[in-house]
């Protein structure tokens, strides 16, 4: 009889500990800005959602000249996609990759800005080429940010008429395009 009661107590205790772990993971996911479905799912299936916590802890490169605009545009998109009416769009991993790629391109711009501050005499051709490449790279980042803003508006259309799969594909495309900004821009 004592062994049976102990097994019930042990099982109940382990269940409470498991659910408490789920509540902790759900709180961390909520703070990281993850979608409501992932947060609620973490209460029961938290071991499966631990990789989302690791992605949330990835810190991007040092801020560059466009960091504020990048954060503003991506936060607006995150808020829009987090809306319950926009549940059709699977976006979490693609948005995280897009953010990291834009942060990396922005950090490259910051490096070039630091290099241009201390211009070397006798290297005018190189300085001019670097300025031109920087301008091209900044234009490419700003173009991606404009397209992200357009995507945000398209989420509203998809909420009315459907088509979340096309939006998810567009977000993946923007993420891939942003990850090649440094390669194409020559920086």
Instruction: Report d(CA 184, CA 176) in Å as an integer.
Output: 12
Is the separation of the CB atoms in 26 and 46 below 8 Å? Answer: yes
Residue 135 is predicted with a pLDDT of 92
Residues 6+ apart with CB under 8 A from 115: 130
Q: What is the pTM of this model?
A: 0.62
**Token couple for 136:** 């091209």
Domain boundaries, the chain: 1-57, 61-187
What's residue 84's pLDDT?
A: 76
Per-residue pLDDT of the chain (187 residues; tens, 9 = 90+): 455 657 788 888 888 888 898 898 888 887 776 777 778 888 888 888 778 777 655 455 678 899 999 999 988 888 887 777 766 655 655 777 788 888 888 999 998 888 888 766 777 888 888 889 999 999 999 999 999 888 888 887 777 777 667 777 777 788 788 877 766 444 4
């Amino acid at each position: 009889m004592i062994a049976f009661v102990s097994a019930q107590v042990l099982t109940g205790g382990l269940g409470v500990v498991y659910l408490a772990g789920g509540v902790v993971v759900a709180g961390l996911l909520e703070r990281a800005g993850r979608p409501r479905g992932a947060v609620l799912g973490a209460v029961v299936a938290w071991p499966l959602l631990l990789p989302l916590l690791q992605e949330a802890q990835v810190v991007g490169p040092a801020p560059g000249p466009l960091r504020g605009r990048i954060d503003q545009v991506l936060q607006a998109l995150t808020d829009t996609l987090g809306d319950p009416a926009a549940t059709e769009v699977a976006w979490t991993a693609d948005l995280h990759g897009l953010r990291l790629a834009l942060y990396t391109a922005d950090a490259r711009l910051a490096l070039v800005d630091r290099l241009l501050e201390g211009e070397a005499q006798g290297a005018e051709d190189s300085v001019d080429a670097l300025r031109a490449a920087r301008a091209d790279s900044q234009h490419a980042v700003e173009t991606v940010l404009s397209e992200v803003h357009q995507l945000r508006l398209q989420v509203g259309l998809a909420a009315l008429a459907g088509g979340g799969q096309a939006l998810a594909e567009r977000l993946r495309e923007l993420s891939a395009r942003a990850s090649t900004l440094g390669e194409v821009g020559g920086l």
